[in-house]
Amino acid sequence: MLMLAALFILKAAAQQVEAVQRTLITKRTASWCPNCGTWGWTLFEGLIADNEDKAVLMAAHYSGNYETQAATDITDNFGGFYQPRFFLNETDINATSSNGSEKRMEVKQAVDEAFSQMPVANVGFAPVFADNTLSVEAKVKFFQDADGEYYLGLYLLESNFTGYQSGIGSDATHHKVLRYSFTDDSFGLPVVNGPVSAGAGFDLSFHLEIGAVEGYDYEVAGIIWKKENDKYIPVNTWSTSDIGTGTATNEVPGVLSFEITPTVATDQATIHIDLLHNLPDATLDIFNVEGRLVAHIGKDVFTRGTHTFPIDRSTTGNNGLYFVRLSDGKNMTTKKVVFQ
């Protein structure tokens, strides 16, 4: 995955997860499709205007100038054929050139009704851009008891860019186009598989290497999926266009030094931390390149002075690149280590 820029400090405070149910609205489209730029364009613009505050909307180009693998995988998962097709969560609303107004009203009614319900789960996050990488610390929280195989997918959407669209021409202003998935698997990272109790929370890390965010109208969208047989069903969605900025290392106050030696290890490496004062709420964790937690190294043991923690392949489980993160509950400092 696009995660080789390793040293990121996420300066967002602990993420709050809203007990709100939002709907996923997806347009299956292609830049060469005339209907996508005529009645399909009008309907999608209307759906955005009606539902943007209560739903996550995305234009998934499975073909053409803005094609992405995630768009193809997601719309194939919904059973999409031809274009444009419009999906309310996983259900095709069967929109045509002659029933756009009717379908627009039906969708708004369904979105409003869903918004009033207590969600099974939701996600919250605060994206941070630094060193050509967009990093996200996401939290999934369950509000009801549940059972099943759940995933979290993160996606980058772009609006207000000009590009070709059949039916309009080369000066079409596009909105909510699905540009990237943060993970190679279009449906994201596993959250939990099995019974889960109301109140349970799960933390996941995502990283996407990207040239810049300034000057682009980007939105980071999260979709919680439940896998049922071979199909992924949207459970809830959340998005934000508020992308912060990060800085280099040693952002946790009171850290005099934080090093790993060697950074490329055959059998074992050692984490060295020197603290100016106590860090009563600190944690030290290892994540793999997919952003999944591999091991808890330390918690609530960070008193003033020097600390060392050995790590080896029995800690990580496999060779490869890993990220060691020190957090005080508000700020984070990350180092990388490679086992080969």
The DSSP result for 16-57, as a single string, is P------EEEEEEEETT-TGGGTHHHHHHHHHHHHHTTTEEE
Instruction: Examine the pLDDT at 230 and tell me if it is beyond 80.
Output: yes
Residue in the block written with tokens 């909510």: 176
Q: What SS3 state is found at 207?
A: strand
Better-scored residue on pLDDT, 89 or 242: 89
Highest mean pLDDT among 12-16, 123-127, 211-215: 123-127
Q: What is the mean pLDDT of residues 170-186?
A: 96
* Average pLDDT of the residues in 217-240: 97
Cβ-contact 156, 218 below 8 angstroms: yes
Q: Which helix (H) or strand (E) covers residue 260, if one does? A: strand 255-261
The pLDDT, as a whole number, for residue 14 is 41
- Mean per-residue pLDDT for 124-135? 85
pLDDT at residue 8 tops 50 = no
The residue among 143 and 296 whose pLDDT is bigger is 143
Q: Give Cβ neighbours of residue 145 (< 8 Å, ≥ 6 apart).
A: 195, 196, 197, 198
Residue 212 reports pLDDT greater than 50: yes
Q: Tell whether the model's pLDDT for residue 197 goes beyond 50.
A: yes
pLDDT at 210 over 90: no
pTM for this entry: 0.72
Q: What are the two backbone dihedrals, phi and then psi, of residue 105, each rounded to the nearest 5 degrees?
A: -70, -40
Average pLDDT value over all residues in the chain:
89
- The phi and psi torsions of 194 (rounded to 5 degrees) equal 130, -165
Question: What's the burial of 122, exposed, middle or buried (CB within 10 Å: 0-12/13-18/19+)?
Answer: buried
Residue 46: phi and psi, rounded to 5, are: -65, -40
Q: Please give the backbone phi and psi of residue 325, each rounded to the nearest 5 degrees, phi first.
A: -120, 125
For range 184-194, the mean pLDDT: 96
Whether residue 240 is predicted with pLDDT greater than 80 in this model: the reply is yes
Among 197-201, 231-235, 302-306, the range scoring the smallest mean pLDDT is 302-306
Residue 205 vs residues 161, 223, 230, 274: alpha-carbon distances, Å:
28, 14, 25, 25
The answer to whether 231 touches 222, Cβ cutoff 8 Å, is: no
15 confidence band (pLDDT: 50, 70, 90): low
Q: What percent of the chain has pLDDT over 90?
A: 61
- Residue 45 is predicted with a pLDDT of 98
Residue 289 has a pLDDT of 66
Burial class (CB in 10 A: 0-12, 13-18, 19+), 276: exposed
Residues 201-209 have a mean pLDDT of 91
pLDDT at 6 > cutoff 60: no
Examine the pLDDT at 329 and tell me if it is beyond 80: no
Calculate Rg over the CA atoms of the chain. Answer: 22
Segment 65-85 shows an average pLDDT of: 94
Q: Which residue has the higher pLDDT, 301 or 5?
A: 301
All structural domains of the chain: 23-245 (2.60.40.10), 255-339 (2.60.40.1930)
Would you place residue 144 in the very low, low, confident or very high pLDDT band (cuts 50, 70, 90)?
A: very high
Query: Which comes out higher in pLDDT, residue 88 or 307?
Result: 88
| pLDDT over 60 (residue 246) | no
Q: Which residues pair with 250 in a beta bridge?
A: none
Task: Write the pLDDT tens digit of every residue in 273-314.
Answer: 988 888 887 888 888 766 677 888 887 678 888 999 998 888
